Chains A and B, each alone.
Chain A
């Protein structure tokens, strides 16, 4: 194996291949950092370009795009409160407050370093443990998927802000948005009210970008005339990595946990990187000694989010490389890329095309390093973006969002959906509803429903496997326990506040 790795690096360290990785990473970062454009889009657009290359070079370019695309999302998340891709939703929670407090440098430092480490961690796992982990992933049938998603849905409670009732209602709004379109099993349309264009439902991108970007622009519009923020000059000091060794060591455990969550969620087909960062953030908050500080601009939040989303890359590649099974759109595109190069993804990929597999690994490692360098040296430049007045920057972002929405399926419908959902989100924000649960409900709801139906088909109507299959039972138990704790905590808090109010009366 060591020889293979060495050989792969030798192949990758040619001018042409390196150029492709660097170019791919750079383009990926651009796509990731522009709200509305995603890693998926970058790969879809560049896939045809790889047809004329040899397989190793083609894969090198695609890996660069993948790493860059997932990482680029942190830039607008920290600077503008708009996640560039679904993978950096929770980077906004603490990254943006940090930037507002003048700590953009530190936010970037943590985000970049932990993106890098998370990526590296998952690549190493991919290289050394993929067959074993892929086997575990195969053990996940509908019962297990249902249980895991139900458990993940409880994150809504942790990410609801000050009112759990409003948070849950937001989650239901997300569920509803997820219902629109074809039903999971029989594909008959639901809630489409006769509009054919709604048959495919809402895509993740319009929902996400609509909720974050449109509402951000409208919030900005509110501030005009009130003399706030628009003119507010925030000093961003950037020194070195922006954080001390002690601060870094403090994040060690949190970082490692987030990497593991990222890889674990990444492996599961269909759940993917968009969810990993939210779950890692929620877990970090739940396990923290100071959960109330989350959302105010705390290092832990940025580390959890950015560590997990890059770790999900290696995770998502595990079933692809080990078994030929794509877990999400990006890996499905990569699968197509491999096949068009005459490679046969599947259990024999390692044996038959080991050279290309190791080139994939080598490219991932190099792309990861290059991503880190680009972001580190680009940091000062990104911050300059903010010296562009908001009234010029935000309209341009809206245009790019509309282009991105259009690019989802080359139809204006998705751009219109983006605007519609954005307005809905703004209305909900006005009534103090949190928007993150909408995204959680939207992504996880359909997975839970589909697997519930499938599980019941498999068991011919019997609900018991959901509780008797060990993995499923474990996660459902975990769900009950965590909901129970949450209720108990709230109850305790309530008694406390009731006590204090009676005392003050």
Chain B
């Protein structure tokens, strides 16, 4: 899918993005203190224009590619290759885990969140035969504890202590 329509999707996204970006620049607060030849909206507007132009070029290119691929039967065979369930699951779960990790870290605290995150993440990334929960849990506890301790004691970096603090 991405092979064939990638540039089309991306260019449409960037076209819309450029428009929103331009609209957002219209509300920038202006300083009364100084007279600026170019205000704070100038360069962002220029950039929005640039994105629009290049997204448009990409759109043209994307249409060409899609057409070329439609003609080419071989490409269709390639895009219809079996949908990889494991891959989607692993990537999706990894994204979810990382996002949850940084969201919960302040409330629950670094120590606990990190242990839980590490164990789950290792479990998700490992091939089923290599899943060794005992090993994962021990590594997670050692990593989380030593990172917390080293940063707090040696480097004065106070990681969130959450419910333990």
Contact = CB atoms under 8 A, between A and B. Distances in A.
A and B co-occur in one complex: yes
Interface of A: 45, 163, 165-166, 168-169, 172, 175-176, 179, 183-186, 188-191, 214, 217-218, 220-226, 230-231, 389-392, 394-396, 398-400, 402-403, 406-407, 410, 412, 415-416, 418-419, 422-423, 430-433, 445, 449, 452-453, 456-457, 460-461
Contacts of A172: 47, 50-51, 54
Contact of B127 (A225, A449, A452): A225
Interface in B49-69: 50-51, 54-55, 57-58, 61
A366 to B, nearest CB: 24
A176 to B, nearest CB: 7
B105 to A, nearest CB: 6
B102 interface: yes
B94 A45 contact: no
A419 B156 contact: no
B31 A225 contact: no
Interface residues of B, number: 68
Contact of B121 (A395, A419, A445, A452): A395
B75 interface: no
A205 to B, nearest CB: 14
A416 B6 CA distance: 28
Nearest to A220: B125
Given A188-B31, A456-B38, 13 more contacts: A45-B154, A183-B28, A186-B31, A188-B29, A214-B98, A225-B87, A225-B127, A390-B125, A391-B127, A398-B121, A399-B114, A453-B38, A456-B36
Contacts of A461: 37
A416 B100 CA distance: 10
24 contacts: A45-B155, A168-B54, A169-B10, A188-B40, A191-B44, A218-B91, A224-B126, A225-B127, A226-B87, A230-B127, A391-B125, A395-B117, A396-B118, A396-B143, A399-B114, A399-B117, A399-B118, A399-B143, A412-B106, A418-B102, A430-B6, A445-B43, A453-B36, A456-B38
**Which of B86, B102, B157 gathers the greatest number of chain A CB atoms within 10 Å?**
B102
A389 to B, nearest CB: 7
B130 A389 contact: yes
A395 B125 CA distance: 9
B124 interface: yes
Contacts of B141: none
Interface in B90-109: 90-91, 93-95, 98-99, 101-103, 105-106
Contacts of A217: 94, 98, 125
B117 A403 contact: no
Given A169-B54, A415-B102, A453-B38, A224 B31 contact: no
Contact of B34 (A45, A221, A230, A457): A457
B157 A224 contact: no
A225 B143 contact: no
A172 B41 CA distance: 15
Given A395-B121, A398-B121, A169 B84 contact: no
Contact of A407 (B37, B38, B84, B157): B157
A391 B130 contact: yes
Contacts of A184: 40
> Interface on chain A toward B: helix, strand, loop, or mixed SS?
helix
A394 B2 CA distance: 26
Contacts of A191: 21, 24, 44
B90 A186 contact: no
A12 B86 CA distance: 58
Nearest to B128: A225
Contacts of A168: 50, 54
Most buried by B among A391, A395, A432, A449: A395
Given A176-B47, A389-B130, A412-B105, A224 B125 contact: yes
Nearest to A46: B155
A226 B40 contact: no
Contacts, number: 180
A175 B90 CA distance: 32
A221 B91 contact: yes
B112 interface: no
Given A225-B127, A430-B2, A179 B37 contact: no
Nearest to B57: A165
A214 B91 CA distance: 11
A422 B158 CA distance: 24
B158 A410 contact: yes
Contacts of A402: 101-102, 105
A433 B33 CA distance: 41
A452 B39 CA distance: 11
B160 A186 contact: no
Interface string B117-137: 110011011110010000010
A445 B46 CA distance: 12
Contacts of B54: 165, 168-169, 172
A69 B36 CA distance: 40
A46 to B, nearest CB: 9
B138 to A, nearest CB: 11
Contacts of B25: 190
Contact of A452 (B33, B43, B91, B106): B43
A410 B161 CA distance: 13
Nearest to A45: B155
A132 B52 CA distance: 45
A101 B21 CA distance: 43
A224 B37 contact: no
Contacts of B33: 186
A286 to B, nearest CB: 22
Given A221-B94, A456-B38, A419 B102 contact: yes
A87 B142 CA distance: 30
Contact of A449 (B14, B29, B43): B43
B28 A188 contact: yes
